[in-house]
Structure 1
Amino acid sequence: MTSWIFLCVSALLGGMVNSIAGGGTLLTFPALLWALTGVPQGSVIANATSTVALFPGSVASAWGYRQELARVKGWLLLLLAPSFAGSVLGTILVAKRDPDEFKALVPWLILGATVLFILQPVFGKLVSRKKDSVQSLTIRGKILVVLFQFTIAVYGGYFGAGIGILMLSALSVLGIQDIHDLNALKASLASAINFISVTMFIGFELVNWRLALPMIFSAIVGGYAGARIARKLNRNWVRFIVIGIGLTVSAYYLWRSAM
């Protein structure tokens, strides 16, 4: 019961953080690692369960941008295939490789995702300088953005924290200029990546449903509440809390791996 309460709180806060600033995985994944301590493939199951728990929130975010998405339909069609393919590869890697390999990468993945989260304002400033709407890219540019999206999707299928930040930077640099169009495309592609991961994790029977189900409902409540209070809450404080958690957790697991 104590574990469930702790996990539900982490999912509630994760859903809120995703609505307000992004980075909810940095709350749910470490919580699940703690709850699954000593369980075989615990780190992989924690990753799968965290992805499933937060997936409804990403879908809700994409739905919220459905009007803007109509303006970037062409981009979505171009990038869906590499998103699906990359997510399949990343999910297979985490599900079928030696769990100890993923466990050894956990502190570095959390640290990397935290660094991306820290750099989020830099990407935001880059996007805010842009004007107008989506511009057409050359064939070479389209190939580059497809390859970059495939790489992001592989990482998304493998771990996932920070993929939204990666896409914000890549898509803004390579031609997506309107901030609302950019967020609509980012949210939809993230949902596509997570959908593949969720489906495959379920197929590989890596999801702990006893923990996932209450977390799903908590994350939905948190996402709804976060959207309602986003305009009133100081986003900087939320960012500082998430960054602090990410740095602390990564340092803790780096310390444990060195023992």
Structure 2
Amino acid sequence: METTILIAVAAFLAGILNAIAGGGSFLTFPALVFAGVPPVIANATSAIAVFPGYLAAAIGFKEDISSVERKQLIRQTGITLVGGLIGALLLLVSSNDFFTAIVPFLLLASTAIFAFQDRILAWGRSGGLQLTPYGAIGTLVVAIYGGYFNGGLGIVLLALYAMWGLTNLNVMNGLKNGVSFVISAISVLTFAIAGLIVWPSAIIMMIANILGGYFGAKLAKRLSKTIVRNIVIAVGLVMSAVFFYRLFI
């Protein structure tokens, strides 16, 4: 019962966090690991647990998403499907030991990118770096990352959008949730076929995550950008510290 409550609460809060700014897997993945699920299987189960919440949140941002040209939306969908599949296939050939060793570095890196995205963007512009908005290479790289390791996907996407020069947080959140759903859908299908999903836990977490995602989309439009950023950064740093502790202690 305690384990069920733990993963359900983690999934609900993850839905809220993903809708607001990303980083929901910082909660679902550790919850499954702490519940005794092996890291690779925990990552796969976490991916299926949060992906319905992405759809619920995207629906909450449908007006903001519709402001993006349809041609670009279709193009982004195609690229993310390819990248998500590549990332998922890479996870299938990763061992638990290897995955456990790189998780804290992935968590910390994604948190740092989000925390310093304004400085990174300013540095890039001052150095003549110009990223093409809705560019294929950036989208593909992030999609591969998301298919391999769902943790921090929303944060990395927001950082990418910032590097593109997007400034409307609601549009960025809408795109982030829509793209995250597409990446998660193809990776979840791959994981399910490979038999990496702990279905009883996944179903409980999916239901809780849908509720959290819809609630979070409404909440996101009421919170200031500063509060959102601080929440995500704090969660990312705490989870990074926890996994570094598990790796070295």
Do both proteins adopt the same fold according to a TM-score greater than 0.5, normalized to the shorter chain? yes
Confirm whether residue 146 of structure 1 aligns to residue 136 of structure 2: yes
TM-score by length of 1: 0.79
Give, in whole Å, the separation in 2 of the partners of 1:79 and 1:230.
Answer: 23
Deviation at 1:179, TM superposition (A): 5.3
Change in CA separation of 1:213 and 1:98 when aligned onto 2, cut-off 3 Å: same
Q: Are the equivalent residues in 2 in contact too, given 1:114–1:243 (CA < 8 A)?
A: yes
Aligned partner of 1:60 in structure 2 is: 56
Q: Are the equivalent residues in 2 in contact too, given 1:116–1:162 (CA < 8 A)?
A: no
Aligned partner of 2:128 in structure 1 is: none
Q: Are the equivalent residues in 1 in contact too, given 2:41–2:196 (CA < 8 A)?
A: yes
Tell me the amino acid that sits aligned with residue 98 of structure 1: S
Aligned to 2:160, which of 156, 164, 170? 170
Tell me the amino acid that sits aligned with residue 248 of structure 1: V
Tell me the amino acid that sits aligned with residue 45 of structure 1: I
Q: Are the equivalent residues in 2 in contact too, given 1:26–1:161 (CA < 8 A)?
A: yes
Give, in whole Å, the separation in 1 of the partners of 2:224 and 2:164.
Answer: 31
Tell me the amino acid that sits aligned with residue 58 of structure 1: Y
Unaligned runs of 5+ in 2: 123-130
CA displacement 1:6-48 (0-9 Å, x = unmatched)? 1111111111222233221111111111112xx5xx1011111
Provide the aligned C-alpha RMSD in A: 3.0
Q: Are the equivalent residues in 1 in contact too, given 2:55–2:178 (CA < 8 A)?
A: yes
CA displacement 1:65-96 (0-9 Å, x = unmatched)? 33444442111222222211111111111122
Tell me the amino acid that sits aligned with residue 14 of structure 2: G
In percent, how many aligned pairs have the same letter?
37
Query: Which has the greater radius of gyration?
Result: 1
Aligned partner of 2:125 in structure 1 is: none
Q: How many aligned residue pairs are there?
A: 240
Give, in whole Å, the separation in 1 of the partners of 2:236 and 2:141.
Answer: 23
SS at structure 2 position matched to 1:87: helix
Aligned partner of 2:23 in structure 1 is: 23
Give, in whole Å, the separation in 1 of the partners of 2:165 and 2:227.
Answer: 31
Tell me the amino acid that sits aligned with residue 43 of structure 1: P
Aligned partner of 1:33 in structure 2 is: 33
Aligned partner of 2:213 in structure 1 is: 223
